Amino acid sequence: MKWNSILKASMGALVAIVVTEKASAQMLINGAGATFPYPIYSKWFDEYAKVDPSVRFNYQSIGSGGGQKQIMAETVDFGASDAPMSDDTLAKAPGKILHIPTVAGADVLTYNLPGDPKLKLDGPTIVDIFLGKISRWNDPKIQTQNEGVKLPNTDIIVVHRSDASGTTYIWVDYLSSVSKEWEKKVGRSAAVQWPVGLGGKGNEGVAGQVKQLPGTVGYVELAYAKQNKLPYADVKNASGRYITPGIESVTEALATAKIPDDFRFSMVNPPGEKSYPIAGATWLLVYEQQKDPAKGKKLVEFLNWAIRKGEGMAATLDYAPLPENVQKRVLERIKTFKY
């Protein structure tokens, strides 16, 4: 009886040692940044753990501004952003940072109104809401675009991001493209001086505020609106059609984008009858010259897998995959990494 107890204890200790050794042998790759692609990145990291159990990804969803700061400071192995880094910022980096586009998604206008009506809005109306010029839900500019919808005579409460955000960059890039006034007064940036409204941290924070507060309007990536069961508006595009945000309409917008060699591009307010007008790409930010050869090799292996296999998972989470011709270009760029 005593020997059985000793044997069991010994076996338990042996299992614990094996588990500990396996955990310590697993390489940890750290990343931080955009909340916009967090749902698809989480999926990729979970799936990739089955492909290569020797590596684990730790991704902090802190916003694009945080992702850019951390890759600049070299405190992470990769950053993530839905706003491309500026020439000035890239010039200050301690090494050459490459933009690796992954997927595209939609910024949607979401709101909290009785009955969750389906709204239609054009760009100038959205601009006026976020400038504070339209402050009541039953304003004629909203009502005339939504015949048959009973809109309340209540205040509009704008919710925006409080952190530096690529989702914000896409949103204000669009507002600037349809309004000279917005471009002049507020402009394009991951962090702007908002004329009106309440702040929320991350896509999660904005979605949470809109869900809790009646009369609110905000902007989030499509997946967050769907996860929180929030309604979102159809938006009039450059062809004059009201378009529902979704994989098909974002794919249409992406197909019209002019993508330069460095992969930094905007795709808001594109041509095309079926294009959704408030969409953008998201990028992984990685140093071309990897300091840690072992980590560099694993990171390149993951990037190749993400483009070859991960793109096929994008649609299940309401992201548009990169077109095949762009995927090929990205795979060629990945070959330039040095480690």
**Mean predicted confidence (pLDDT) in 63-70:** 97
For residues 330 and 268, give the distance between their C-alpha atoms in angstroms, rounded to a whole number: 21
How does pLDDT run across 136-185, given as a tens digit for each residue?
A: 999 999 999 999 999 999 999 999 999 999 999 999 999 999 999 999 99
Q: Residues 34-49: what's their mean pLDDT?
A: 97
Q: What 8-state DSSP symbol labels residue 128?
A: H
CA distance linking residue 4 with residue 143, whole number of Å = 79
> CA 182 from chain center: how many Å?
23
Predicted local distance difference test score (pLDDT) of residue 25: 72
Crossing angle of helices 64-72 and 166-178, in 10° steps, is: 120
pLDDT at 262: 98
The string of pLDDT tens digits covering residues 186-231 is 999 999 999 999 999 999 999 999 999 999 999 999 999 999 999 9
Q: How many CA atoms lie within 13 A of 317 on its CB side?
A: 20
Helix (H, G, I), strand (E, B) or coil at 98: strand
pLDDT, the chain, mean: 93
Residue 23 has pLDDT above 70, yes or no: no
Q: Which residue has the tokens 């905000």?
A: 218
Q: How far apart are CA 237 and CA 306, in angstroms?
A: 31
Q: In the prediction, which pLDDT does 128 show?
A: 98
